[in-house]
Amino acid sequence: MKRTLIIKNLNQLKVLSDPFRSQLMMLLIEKPYTGQQLAEHFNLSRARVHYHLHELEKNHLIELVRTEEINGIVQKFYQSVAQGFLPDVSLLPQKHEVSETYRQIVLSMINRTRMRAATAPDESFSIDENVPDNMRALATYWEITMTDSHFKKFAEKMVEVFEEFDQCCKKDGQESGAKPYFMSAFGFQVDQKEFDQKLEKED
C-alpha cells in the first residue's frame, strides 16, 4: 500500500465522491475485507457491495491482495491501494468535483472516528491517576485564524508528529502495558468563527 495516491483521473474522483464508496474506502484503508464481510458490516446485499467494489477496482483505487478457499468457495480480499488520496493540479478545472469528493472523504473519516469511539471499551474514557491529566483519551478542538501558509505548516507538523510516534513506538507492541490507540485529526476552513472565548492565563 502506498502512503498517498495522486488522483489524476476524473473518473477516479467521481467514484470516490459517492458517499457509500468513501465509507467502503475507510474500511479498506485499515485492512483487507471480502465482499461478504463488507455486506455483513453494512447490512447490505452482496450484489450491491460487489458492484461498488468492482467500480473501485476498475478505477485502480483498491486491489485484490489475497484469496482464501473456505468450504470450497474462494474468498477474495480487497484493500485500498493507498493510505490517502490527493488530487493532482491537473484536476483544478473540476474544482467543484474535487471539493465534493474531499468533503465526502472527510465526512467518512469523521463517521469512522465516531464509530470507533462508540465501540471503544469503557477503559478508554476512564480516569487514571497514572496518566497525565488523568484522562486516557485525547479530545480537543480549536478555531484559529491563520493564513494558508500557516495552515500548511500546521498540517505538515501534524503529519511529522504522527510519523515520529509511529516510528518511536514500533517496539511498544512487545511491552505488556502497550495498548492500541486510534488517532484522527481534522482541520478545514469554515465560513466564520463560532468561538468567543476569553481564557484566563494559568499561573
Does 70 share its domain with 98?
yes
What dihedral angle (degrees, nearest 10) is formed by the CA atoms of 125, 131, 133, 137? -30
Compute the chain's Rg from CA coordinates: 20
Task: State the Cα–Cα distance between residues 93 and 135, nearest whole angstrom.
Answer: 46
* Closest of 105, 89, 103 to residue 22, by C-alpha: 105
Helix ranges (DSSP H) in the chain: 10-16, 19-30, 35-42, 46-58, 95-119, 148-168
Does 84 share its domain with 157?
no
pTM (2 d.p.) = 0.78
Confidence of residue 203 (pLDDT cuts 50, 70, 90): low
Confidence of residue 54 (pLDDT cuts 50, 70, 90): very high
Does 135 share its domain with 113?
no
Percent of the chain with pLDDT over 70: 94
Domain that holds residue 40: 2-119
The domain total for the chain is 2
- Cell numbers standing for residue 190: 469554515
Cβ 123 vs Cβ 177: under 8 Å: no
Cβ 81 vs Cβ 5: under 8 Å: yes
Does 79 share its domain with 146?
no
Does 20 share its domain with 96?
yes
pLDDT in tens, 103-150: 988 999 999 999 999 999 988 888 776 666 666 788 888 999 999 999
Task: State the Cα–Cα distance between residues 36 and 70, nearest whole angstrom.
Answer: 12
Does 19 share its domain with 90?
yes
Of 65, 100, 119, the position where a domain reaches its end is 119
Tell whether 199 is covered by a domain.
no
Does 97 share its domain with 181?
no
Does 104 share its domain with 34?
yes
Does residue 202 carry a pLDDT above 70?
no
Query: For position 131, what pLDDT does the model report?
Result: 62
Query: CATH code at 109?
Result: 1.10.10.10
Tell whether 26 is covered by a domain.
yes
